[in-house]
Amino acid sequence: MRKILVVNLTRFGDLLQTSPTIVGLRENHPDAELVALVERNFADVARGLPAVDRVWELDLDRLGRMLIGETGDGLRAAYRLVDDTVKALRDERFDLALNYSSSKMSAVLLRLIGAPDTRGWTMSADGHRLIAHPWSRLFAASCLHRRQAPFNLVDYYKRVAGVAAGPERLFFEVPADARRWAADFLAGAGAPPGAPLVAFQLGASRPVRRWPAAHFVALARALHAAIGARFLLCGGGGDRPVANEIAAALGSLAIDACGRSSIAGLGALLERADVLVTGDTGPMHMAVAVGTPVVALFFGPALPFDTGPYAADHVCLHAEVACAPCDHNVTCLEPFCRDTLAPAAVAEAVLARRAGDWQALAAAAARWPAIAWYRTGFDAEGLADVSLLGARPPGRAEGLRRAYRALWKAVLEGTAPRPASAALPRDAAVLREVARLAAEGAGRALGVEALAADAGDLEALEVAARRLEELDARLFRLGAMHEAAALLVQVFRFETENLEGEDVGALARATRVVHEELAARARLLAEMLEPAGAVRPAMSQGGDHASVG
């Protein structure tokens, strides 16, 4: 590799989560130039990532102003900007381009850049979306079916880049001038050197994802009574009203940093905190990157399994309500899950994590059964994981997610499959039906392939192709109706969408392979979920038969 492009046009936290991939790429390709393509608002984050040689900035705000006619000659100016950018990026002649943005705009851009090895979101010659890597397709499917999210976002990033091992932490290099600024800021606020300092991240991307101000106040009072802590209020300028409310209640105990620091300054402030209490936010990932312990609050659409802290020994508290997680596209009118994470429970988590007392954390987990308490870590393959604290047995959702995790590790990593932690026979029956239909689909694809080779009867070929489409529609309905099959069928859908070409016979062969793989995966997952010693359905020419209630 001579030159590698890493594209991430998303937010602050997502950029920080690319840092292990970039560091791993540097280890794998020490002589390559690593270029990060980011949105201009977050360029300072990219500059703080070790191993980045150059940062390309896209000013999407300026492009938007051009498109709506606020500057210059509108559409023509926007076209020239895009054309100049594409030409400059194409002239770089990247050997490898990794697109970690899932937008259509980024897919078009990656197609236009034309790197010979493009992974992630790109586009076919006729304008259809392509998701060009198995781990990228799994990630895209997991975003749509998050109850079964098997892996942390960072591990998807790493595996797409071929970083199979790599660092088990995030990175951000805090510059010396930012550290001096943070020291002066805290001294000016009257923070006693060495006194307990707990940081609160107040903001989130949407109001429904914010823990209420009254809860932060109650938490602060409990922590001050226990250890005499003071509190660093973190957030952007838009969080000032919440910060003002909390500061008015806490008085001199609060140090309001909302909207007052640069990105590097935030990292320097968080370095000096004992613990950060936060939702699923960019500052959570910054705290992880600078080595500050995190107590992360997961509610609403947030889940610790896929976007939790990427490092060992952080604490995640998840409000396990029946409707969790929310869909990102839905605005909840009654976000009661926030109140499930009671300030008293969070106070116990902060005190025990600050002391490094995992026994106390496990005991606290038993006292708060409405909350799932997790400790972050890594498994034997180096993939991020969370383990339940306390003696709480995993429920059905956790059992299904664990089985999916074992399945994808077997399929994509070659590990030995293991039985699920709990038998789920009804779910196994659903998966047997998926396997049966997929095997039947493979047979129908074989028939299309044979007719395409003969090329004599176009009407029969059309009928055979339509019968295959009808069977796929049944598979898609099965995935929509049954949670156990949802992720498996969604990955299959993305795989079929990724098939391209003009040769009908070659497409039929590729389609047959995709169906055969779905059948094999569904059988394997069913075996994991069946009770020990269960009698499996007999095989027939059409595949496995199973009754689905």
DSSP readout, 61-128?
A: HHHHHHHTTSSTTTHHHHHHHHHHHHHHHHHT--SEEEE---SHHHHHHHHHHT-SEEEEEEE-TTS-
Give the rounded percent of residues in the chain with a pLDDT score beyond 90: 74
What the block records as the tokens of 183 is: 């020291």
Higher pLDDT, 24 or 61: 24
Whether residue 24 is contained in a domain is answered as yes
The residues, any chain, with a CB within 8 Å of residue 487's CB and separated by 6 or more, are 141, 142, 145, 148, 150, 404
Give the range of the structural domain holding residue 116, as residue numbers without chain letter.
3-160
Residue-wise pLDDT for 40-60, tens only, equals: 999 999 999 999 999 999 998
What pLDDT sits at residue 243? 94
- Helix, coil or strand: residue 240: helix
3 state DSSP class of 231: strand
Domain assignment present for 351: yes
369 pLDDT exceeds 80? Answer: yes
The continuous run of DSSP H or E covering 45 comes out as: helix 43-47
Q: For residue 408, is it within any domain?
A: no
Report which of residues 368 and 455 the model is more confident about.
368
Cα dist. 244→97, 138, 220, 256, 269 in Å? 44, 43, 15, 8, 19
Question: At residue 324, does pLDDT exceed 80?
Answer: no
34 and 143 co-located in one domain: yes
The pLDDT tens digits for 214-233 are 999 999 999 999 999 999 99
Specify if 409 maps to a domain. Answer: no
SS (H, E, C) 267-321: HHHHHCCCEEEECCCHHHHHHHHHCCCEEEEECCCCCHHHHCCCCCCCEEEEECC
- Both 18 and 138 in one domain: the answer is yes
Domain assignment of residue 540, yes or no: yes
Q: Are residues 304 and 374 in the same domain?
A: yes
pLDDT of residue 538: 44
Model confidence at 534: pLDDT above 70? no
Look at residue 332 in the predicted model and tell me its pLDDT. Answer: 67
> How are beta strands 96-99 and 3-8 bridged, if at all?
parallel
Residues 267 and 359 in one domain: yes
pLDDT tens readout for residues 399-424: 899 999 999 999 999 998 887 777 89
DSSP string, 513-524: HHHHHHHHHHHH
- Same structural domain for residues 93 and 195? no
Same domain, 44 and 191: no
* Domain end (from 113, 130, 160): 160
Question: Do the beta carbons of residue 276 and residue 284 sit within 8 Å?
Answer: yes
Please choose, from the candidates 48, 14, 40, 10, the residue with its C-alpha nearest in 3D space to the C-alpha of residue 282: 14
Confidence of residue 391 (pLDDT cuts 50, 70, 90): confident
Res. 288: pLDDT tops 60: yes
Instruction: Let me know if residue 170 belongs to a domain.
Output: no
Same domain, 142 and 8: yes
Q: CB–CB of 342/356 below 8 Å?
A: no
* Same domain membership, residue 108 and residue 35: yes
Would residue 402 count as lying in a domain? no
Which residue, 372, 392, 412, sits at the end of a domain? 392
Which tokens sit at 525? 């997952």
Residues 116 and 262 in one domain: no
Kindly state the percentage of the chain with pLDDT values over 70. Answer: 93
Mean pLDDT within 346-369: 96
Say whether both 433 and 318 belong to one domain: no
Task: Tell me the CA distances in angstroms from 55 to 6, 41, 181, 203, 440, one per residue in order.
Answer: 10, 12, 25, 27, 50
**Higher-confidence residue: 335 or 44?**
44
Determine the pLDDT at residue 547. Answer: 36
Beta bridge partners of 3: 33
Query: Per-residue DSSP letters for 336-369?
Result: THHHHS-HHHHHHHHHHHHHT-HHHHHHHHHH-T
pLDDT band at residue 114, thresholds of 50, 70 and 90? Answer: very high
- Asked if residue 187 and residue 125 are part of one domain, the reply reads no
270-284, 323-337, 442-456, 521-535: the lowest-pLDDT one: 323-337
Please tell me the distance from the alpha carbon of residue 38 to that of residue 11, in angstroms, as a whole number.
9
Q: What is the pLDDT of residues 470-521, one digit of tens each?
A: 999 999 999 999 999 999 999 999 999 999 888 889 999 999 999 999 999 9
Report the CATH number at residue 63: 3.40.50.2000
Number of domains comprising the chain: 3
Among 160, 193, 226, identify where a domain stops: 160
pLDDT in tens, 166-184: 899 999 999 999 999 999 9
3-state SS track over 148-206: HCCCCHHHHHHHHCCCCCCCCCCCCCCCHHHHHHHHHHHHHCCCCCCCCEEEEECCCCC
The answer to whether residue 189 sits within a structural domain is: yes
Asked if 430 contacts 530 with a C-beta cutoff of 8 angstroms, the reply is: no
Confidence (pLDDT) at 544: 40
Retrieve residue 163's tokens. 């970083």
Q: What is the band of 537 on the pLDDT scale with cuts at 50, 70, 90?
A: low
Same domain, 227 and 264: yes
